[in-house]
Amino acid sequence: MSSVVNEIMSLITVANLSKIYVNEEVQTPALQSVSFTIERGEFVAIMGPSGSGKSTLLQILGFLDRQTSGEYWFDGKTFTDYTADELARVRNKKMGFVFQSFNLLPRTTVLENVKLPLLYSAVPELEWEERARHSIEAVGLAHRLKHESNQLSGGEKQRVAIARALVNDPQVIFADEPTGNLDSKSGHEVMNIISALCDKHGKTVLLITHEPDIAAYAKRVIAMRDGEIESDQNPKP
């Protein structure tokens, strides 16, 4: 019993998670009996080819979708423990999201883009600019503070997206193919920043990727295929 309690007290616990999509009575399994735990401060890559279920898993872990069966605990609570408003607060306060497509507001400054999550938070407005500036400095873009997003390179745009994900001081960063739209040099610069979030700032990082050289930045790699976990390894000490 105590081992079950300890697992649930991990930041993320997934037990026998399955997801089935139904379209005109055709059932398509996306996840099948997936189980693992992630501790606070871990840097974990979930790796697999297209169609392996890794992005579906991220959607569920980020409370953006619900599993068909199985259990998911985040910070000791399941999906059903939260009201809709509480789920929104958890996503805003405890989770930060970084996507392949950046999702920045065009013709809007770096500072204003990074402030955006604070509009929906409980943080007093007087603190917004200081928080945003601190996050922007953390990704090395203080010199781009007043630049509009359309004036930035792809690597800089992704660094702004990381700063935006950091601005509410979340417990976990979910990064879905964060280097997918970047050249090799910019991709590795972004991954060095993401690594530092874990190593220097103690953030839990969950990275989705299909690229082995990007997954290699993580301290643990969960490989998926056809909706199932193929391996779960710690390649780094």
Q: So what's the pLDDT on residue 4?
A: 47
**pLDDT on residue 237:** 57
CA separation for the pair 198, 8 (Å, rounded): 21
Can you tell me the mean pLDDT for 52-75?
94
The strand pair at 95-99 and 172-176 is best described as parallel
Between these two residues, 234 and 172, which has the higher pLDDT value?
172
167/170 Cα distance (integer angstroms): 8
Q: How confident is the model at residue 235 (pLDDT cuts 50, 70, 90)?
A: low
Model pLDDT, residue 236: 60
Taking the whole predicted model, whether its pTM rises above 0.85 is answered as yes
Tell me: pLDDT of 2 over 50.
no
d(CA 157, CA 227): 31
> What is the pLDDT averaged over residues 118-143?
92
pLDDT exceeds cutoff 70 at 5: no
pLDDT of 54 above 60: yes
Q: What is the pLDDT of residue 200?
A: 86
Instruction: Quickly state the pLDDT bin for 7 (edges 50, 70, 90).
Output: low
Q: Which of 204, 207, 233, 237 is nearest to 221 (CA)?
A: 233
Q: What is the pLDDT of residue 148?
A: 95
Q: What is the mean pLDDT of the chain?
A: 91
* pLDDT value at residue 1: 39
Q: Token digits for 212? A: 């082995």
At 6, the pLDDT band (50, 70, 90 cuts) reads low
Burial class (CB in 10 A: 0-12, 13-18, 19+), 204: buried
Mean pLDDT of 156-177: 94
